[in-house]
Amino acid sequence: MTYQLHYWPGLQGRGEFIRLALEEAGADYVDVVRLPKEQGGGAGALMKAMADPDQPFPPFAPPFLKDGELIIFQTTNILAYLAPRLGLAPEGEQRRVFAAGLQLTIADAVVEAHDTHHPIAGGLYYEDQKAPAKARAADFIAHRLPKYLGFFERVIRRNPDGPGWAVGDGLTTVDLSLFQLVAGLTYAFPRGMAPFGNACPRLSRLCDAVKARPNIAAYLRSDRRIPFNETGIFRYYPELDQDGTWVVEEV
Amino acid sequence: MTYQLHYWPGLQGRGEFIRLALEEAGADYVDVVRLPKEQGGGAGALMKAMADPDQPFPPFAPPFLKDGELIIFQTTNILAYLAPRLGLAPEGEQRRVFAAGLQLTIADAVVEAHDTHHPIAGGLYYEDQKAPAKARAADFIAHRLPKYLGFFERVIRRNPDGPGWAVGDGLTTVDLSLFQLVAGLTYAFPRGMAPFGNACPRLSRLCDAVKARPNIAAYLRSDRRIPFNETGIFRYYPELDQDGTWVVEEV
């Protein structure tokens, strides 16, 4: 059965965390919005599906996934559903619930990264909230970046199943999502992320290892990978970036 | 085995969503921070547990739950673990993943409710971000309240298993969390929530039904229920509240 991913066109957004899992696994999927209109593609069809009055299990917002009759929304929920089916979940209950906790923590970091450019309202233009955006971005770079990235560095360092991945002894959706998080943060805050390689050597190597996986490398070169841009979660506004001087404590 | 809930003292916070599930089920649990110091209670012990260098699966932040040797963090993750064990999960895969999506959407609403008083930085005082807080709270009342609450009203209305609950034909953690979300929003924004009863009659009845459950009613009367206060997620700052004039479209 072909997985149907439903997400906004023209941006990586939250859909990208799901695309990376599907691409790594070589799964049979279709990015529905990119289909021709007569095959159900386009933003109009997405809005219509969102407003379908006959859907008994309506999603709050994209992305949502259809697997046959089943409909699933919320990014971390979709990843939790896909991970074991795609061979991207760790083994055992402790590692499963730990992976879920990490995935949710990545989602929290994504919200905070988004809110650096929209601290007042998602429905208002960035230009109408520039001053608070500067204040929020400055705090994000100084305090939140090291808190999140330092935590993930620690998780990799402590992984009892050997070095390299976040949880368990192989690649999981958590690693793919960490790659995407770091890529997005580096795009949005090149100056703020300057300390990253030195401060988080294990997480940095993990990202390189994800990027080098054959399916991911091919995907990143393809036109299925939408470039980062200023309609997504991670936006490069030079006035929000500033030199990062953060360090990560080894605990 | 006694569940151990680890969370900050003195506030409902995210821990409350877990307490409500444990209380409704009459589960054997201990709110560890409230134990005497010599039994491992107190904020100091919580901070120490958070910083434990020997924990191979470290939580990012409270709340976390221990069930024997197992450690689980992130509120929605803890609820997903507890729900089937406490008889608070719906039946069948579609309803399970839908419940998980709803639970994550409630968590998103909680972040936004929190950020009305802390739109710039969680690490700064409210008093140092009052002006952007006013702007964010005004947008939250005008646009986000009706979006979230209208969505949950729609979910209850469309529930194919009969009226009354959010998903399936019986009480789940989603209903308990909806009660807590509405209670918190009503505490924080009494004027902003004025349209609620008329706009969301089904959600309003659901909240009343949760409150009337014997175990919940007993819990709410007990001293285990910490009152809402201005150190939690939902804070009453009169200057952030304003008359809600929102309506909910029936789709």
Same domain, A116 and A220: yes
Buried b (16+ CB within 10 A) or exposed e, A70-88: ebbbbbbbbbbbbbeebeb
Report DSSP state, residue A141: I
Residues 6 or more apart from A64 whose CB is under 8 A from it? Answer: A6, A71, A72, A73, A78
Give a yes or no: residue A249 inside a domain: no
Q: How far is B24 from chain A (nearest CA, A)?
A: 23
Same domain, B81 and B100: no
| Nearest partner of A159 among A210, A109, A98, A103, judged by Cα | A98
Q: In this predicted model, what pLDDT tens digit does every residue of B167-213 receive, in sequence order?
A: 999 999 999 999 999 999 999 999 999 999 999 999 999 999 999 99
- pTM > 0.90: yes or no: yes
Give the CA distances from residue A246 to residues A33, A193, A196, B124, in Å, rounded to whole numbers and listed in that order.
Answer: 40, 9, 9, 18
Q: In this predicted model, what pLDDT tens digit does every residue of A30-63 receive, in sequence order?
A: 999 999 999 999 999 899 989 999 999 999 999 9
Tell me, what's the pLDDT at A246?
A: 96
Give a yes or no: residue A250 inside a domain: no
Q: How high is the mean pLDDT of chain A? A: 97
For residue A232, the enclosing domain spans 93-240
Give a yes or no: residue A235 inside a domain: yes
Give a yes or no: residue A246 inside a domain: no
Bridge partners of B65, per DSSP, are: B5, B72
Last residue of a domain, one of A85, A115, A130: A85
Mean pLDDT of A153-182: 96
Same domain, A45 and A146: no
Supply the CATH number for residue A67's domain. Answer: 3.40.30.10
Buried b (16+ CB within 10 A) or exposed e, B148-182: bbbbbbbbbeebeeeeebbbbeebbbbbbbbbbbb
Q: In this predicted model, what pLDDT tens digit does every residue of B201-223 receive, in sequence order?
A: 999 999 999 999 999 999 999 99
What span, in angstroms and rounded, lies between the C-alpha atoms of A85 and A78?
11
Q: In this predicted model, what pLDDT tens digit does every residue of A101-142 receive, in sequence order?
A: 999 999 999 999 999 999 999 999 999 999 999 999 999 999
Percentage, residues of chain A above pLDDT 70: 100
Per-residue pLDDT band for B250 (boundaries 50, 70, 90) equals confident
CB atoms inside a 10 Å sphere around CB B243:
11
Last residue of a domain, one of B85, B119, B143: B85
To test the contact with chain B by mutation, choose from A97, A111, A161 the residue with the greatest count of B C-beta atoms within 10 A, namely A97
Tell me, what's the pLDDT at B1?
A: 82
Same domain, B77 and B163: no
Q: What is the ipTM of this complex?
A: 0.98
Please check the confidence at residue A221 and state whether its pLDDT lies above 80: yes
3-state secondary structure of A135: helix
Per-residue pLDDT band for A250 (boundaries 50, 70, 90) equals confident
Please check the confidence at residue A27 and state whether its pLDDT lies above 90: yes
Please check the confidence at residue A1 and state whether its pLDDT lies above 90: no
To test the contact with chain A by mutation, choose from B55, B77, B103, B233 the residue with the greatest count of A C-beta atoms within 10 A, namely B77
Per the rule left: phi > 0, alpha: psi between -120 and 50, beta: everything else, B26 is left
To test the contact with chain A by mutation, choose from B6, B55, B60, B76 the residue with the greatest count of A C-beta atoms within 10 A, namely B60
Give a yes or no: residue B46 inside a domain: yes
Give a yes or no: residue A193 inside a domain: yes
B143–A121: do the CB atoms touch at under 8 Å?
yes
Please check the confidence at residue A162 and state whether its pLDDT lies above 90: no
Q: In this predicted model, what pLDDT tens digit does every residue of B84-112 receive, in sequence order?
A: 999 999 999 999 999 999 999 999 999 99
Q: How far is B205 from chain A (nearest CA, A)?
A: 20
Same domain, A77 and A100: no
Per-residue pLDDT band for B58 (boundaries 50, 70, 90) equals very high
Q: Searching chain B, which residue's CA lies closest to the CA of residue A137?
A: B120
Q: Is A24 exposed, middle or buried (0-12, 13-18, 19+ CB in 10 A)?
A: buried
Judge contact between A131 and A117, C-beta under 8 A. Answer: no
Buried b (16+ CB within 10 A) or exposed e, A172-207: bbbbbbbbbbbbbbbbbbeebbebbeebbebbbebb
| Pairs of residues, one from chain A and one from chain B, whose beta carbons lie less than 8 Å apart | 120
What span, in angstroms and rounded, lies between the C-alpha atoms of B204 and B183?
10
Q: Dihedral of CA A124/A127/A132/A135: which sign?
A: positive
Q: Which residue has the tokens 């899992």?
A: A21
Give a yes or no: residue B202 inside a domain: yes
Encoding tokens for residue B190? 């009494």
Give a yes or no: residue A24 inside a domain: yes
DSSP secondary structure string for all residues of chain B? --EEEE--SS--TTHHHHHHHHHHTT--EEEGGGS-GGGT-SHHHHHHHHT-TT-SS--SSS-EEEETTEEEESHHHHHHHHHHHTT-S-SSHHHHHHHHHHHHHHHHHHHHHHHHH-SS-TTS-GGGGHHHHHHHHHHIIIIIHHHHHHHHHHHHHH-TT-SSSSSSSS--HHHHHHHHHHHHHHHH-TTTTTTHHHH-HHHHHHHHHHHTSHHHHHHHHSTTSPPP-TTSSS---GGG-----------
Q: In this predicted model, what pLDDT tens digit does every residue of B215-247 receive, in sequence order?
A: 999 999 999 999 999 999 999 999 999 999 999
Judge contact between A21 and A173, C-beta under 8 A. Answer: yes
Q: In this predicted model, what pLDDT tens digit does every residue of B17-57 receive, in sequence order?
A: 999 999 999 999 999 999 999 999 999 989 998 999 999 99
Same domain, A72 and A121: no
What residues of chain B lie within 8 A of the CB of A57, using their CB?
A: 94-95, 98, 158
Q: For chain B, how many structural domains are there in total?
A: 2
End-to-end CA distance of chain B: 45
